[in-house]
Amino acid sequence: MSFIELKEVNKSFNQNQILNDISLSIEKGDFFGIVGPSGAGKSVLMKTLLGIYLPDKGQVIINSKNIEEDKSLKNIIGFVPQNSSLYPDLSVFSNMKYFGKLYGMKLKDIKERSKILLGDMGLSSVSNKKLKSLSGGMNRRVNIACSMLHNPAILILDEPLSGLDPLLRKQILDLILRIQQTGKTIIISSHFMNELESLCNKVAVISNGEIATVGGPKEIRDKYSPYYEVKIRTYPGKYKSLLEALKRNGVLIQKVEMSQRDLILYLPKSANPRTQLGKIVSTSDKYGESLLEIGMNTLSFAEVYREIVQ
Amino acid sequence: MVSRILSVVEKNFRQIFGSKSLSLIIIVAPLIIIILAGLIFSSTSLKEVKIGTFTDDSQELVNKISEGIRDRGFEAIDYPSLESCKSDVKEENTHLCLHVVVEDSGLREINEDLGHATYFYADYSKVRLVWPVINVAKGIIDNLNLKITEQTVNMLAENIDYFTDELEDKEEVIEDAENKLEDVEDLVDNSLKQVEKIRQEIHNQKNLLYSSNIVALGNEIDMIKSIVGSAGLSGGTESQLLDNLATVDNGIAKLQGDKISLIQKSDSVDGIIYSSTSALNDVQDKVNRLRIEMGRVRTQLPKLQKLGMIKRIKGKDIVDPIPTHIHSVTGNQEEASLENAMSYLDYLTPSIIIMTILFVSALLGTVATIKEKKSPAALRNYLTPTRGITFTIGTYLSSIILVMVQVLVLFLIAFFGFASYMMNNLLLVLPIIFILASIFIFLGISIGYLFKSEETAIIGSVSLCIIFLIASELILPIETLPKMVSMFTSFNPFVLGETILRKLIIFELPIMSVIKETAILGGYAIIAFFLALFGQKRLKKDL
Note the pLDDT tens digit of each residue in B51-84. 899 988 878 888 888 888 888 778 889 999 889 9
> Is 60 exceeded by the pLDDT of residue A91?
yes
Give the model's pLDDT for residue B344: 54
Confirm or reject contact between A146 and chain B (CB < 8 A): yes
Give the model's pLDDT for residue B314: 65
Confirm or reject contact between B382 and chain A (CB < 8 A): yes
Overall average pLDDT of the A250-267 stretch: 88
DSSP letter at A232 equals E
> Is 50 exceeded by the pLDDT of residue B336?
no
Is the distance from CB of B542 to CB of B449 less than 8 angstroms?
Answer: no
pLDDT band at B434 (very low <50, low <70, confident <90, very high): very high
Give the model's pLDDT for residue A32: 92
Between CA A298 and CA A218 the distance in angstroms is 11
Say which residue, B313 or A38, is predicted with more confidence: A38
Nearest-CA distance B7 → chain A (Å): 6
Average confidence score pLDDT of chain B: 80
Q: What is the pLDDT of residues A170-219, one digit of tens each?
A: 878 888 888 888 888 999 988 778 788 888 889 998 888 888 888 888 88
Give the model's pLDDT for residue B341: 41
The answer to whether A87 contacts B381, with C-beta atoms less than 8 Å apart, is no
Pairing of strands A210-215, A202-207: antiparallel
Give the model's pLDDT for residue B522: 93
Contacts B19 to A, Cβ<8 Å = 89
User: pTM of this prediction?
Assistant: 0.65
**In 10 A of CB B508, how many CB atoms?**
14
Confirm or reject contact between B15 and chain A (CB < 8 A): yes
> Is 80 exceeded by the pLDDT of residue B304?
no
Is the distance from CB of A35 to CB of A24 less than 8 angstroms?
Answer: no
Q: How many CA atoms are closer than 13 Å to the CA of B65, on its beta-carbon side?
A: 30
Overall average pLDDT of the B342-357 stretch: 71
Nearest-CA distance A263 → chain B (Å): 51
Confirm or reject contact between B13 and chain A (CB < 8 A): no
Largest CA distance in chain B: 198
Pairing of strands B116-122, A202-207: unpaired
Partners of B235 in the beta sheet?
Answer: none
Confirm or reject contact between A102 and chain B (CB < 8 A): yes
Write out B446-512 in H/E/C secondary structure. Answer: HHHHHCCCHHHHHHHHHHHHHHHHHCCCCCCCHHHCCHHHHHHHCCCHHHHHHHHHHHHHHCCCCHH
Task: Give the range among A1-5, B398-402, B486-490 with minimum mean pLDDT.
Answer: B486-490
Give the model's pLDDT for residue A232: 92
Q: What percent of chain A has pLDDT over 70?
A: 100
Pairing of strands A185-189, A57-62: unpaired
Q: What percent of chain B has pLDDT over 90?
A: 10
Give the model's pLDDT for residue B429: 86
Point out the residue among B8, B379, B385 whose CB comes nearest to the CB of A104: B385
Contacts B18 to A, Cβ<8 Å = 89-90, 130
Peptide bond connecting A236 to the previous residue in cis, omega within 30 degrees of 0? yes
> Is 60 exceeded by the pLDDT of residue A307?
yes
Burial A39-55 (b: 16+ CB within 10 A, else e): ebbbbbbbbbbbbbbeb
Overall average pLDDT of the B271-289 stretch: 87
- Which residues have a Cβ under 8 Å from the Cβ of B257 and sit 6 or more positions away? none
**Which of A101, A143, A151, A155 best tests the B interface by mutation, with the highest count of B CBs <10 A?**
A101
The answer to whether B543 contacts A95, with C-beta atoms less than 8 Å apart, is no
Pairing of strands B75-78, B50-55: parallel
Between CA B57 and CA A209 the distance in angstroms is 93
B-proximal residues of A, 163-222, CB under 8 Å? none
Q: What is the pLDDT of residues A60-84, one digit of tens each?
A: 898 888 888 888 888 888 898 888 8
Give the model's pLDDT for residue B323: 67
Give the model's pLDDT for residue B338: 40
Is the distance from CB of B121 to CB of B85 less than 8 angstroms?
Answer: yes
* Chain B residue with minimum CA distance to A144: B380
B-proximal residues of A, 25-54, CB under 8 Å? 47, 50, 52
Largest CA distance in chain A: 80
Overall average pLDDT of the A123-149 stretch: 86
Give the model's pLDDT for residue B397: 93
The answer to whether A103 contacts B385, with C-beta atoms less than 8 Å apart, is yes
Nearest-CA distance A70 → chain B (Å): 10
**In 10 A of CB B136, how many CB atoms?**
24
- Nearest CA to A97 out of A116, A79, A121, A113 is that of A113
Confirm or reject contact between B102 and chain A (CB < 8 A): no
Judging by beta carbons within 10 Å of its beta carbon (0-12, 13-18, 19+), is residue B75 exposed, middle or buried? middle
The answer to whether B15 contacts A74, with C-beta atoms less than 8 Å apart, is no
The answer to whether B18 contacts A89, with C-beta atoms less than 8 Å apart, is yes
Q: What is the pLDDT of residues B82-91, one digit of tens each?
A: 899 988 888 8
The strands making up A16-26's β-sheet, listed across from edge to edge, are A16-26, A4-13, A57-62, A65-66
**Which of A67, A93, A98 best tests the B interface by mutation, with the highest count of B CBs <10 A?**
A98
Between CA B458 and CA B464 the distance in angstroms is 10
Point out the residue among A74, A89, A146 whose CB comes nearest to the CB of B19: A89
pLDDT band at B529 (very low <50, low <70, confident <90, very high): very high
> In a 3-state reduction of DSSP, which class is residue B191?
helix
Give the model's pLDDT for residue B38: 64
Point out the residue among A47, A79, A102 whose CB comes nearest to the CB of B386: A102
B-proximal residues of A, 51-80, CB under 8 Å? 52, 71-72, 74-75, 77, 79
Contacts A49 to B, Cβ<8 Å = none
* Chain A residue with minimum CA distance to B376: A85
- Count CB pairs under 8 A between chains A and B: 70
Which amino acid is residue B130, in one-letter code? V
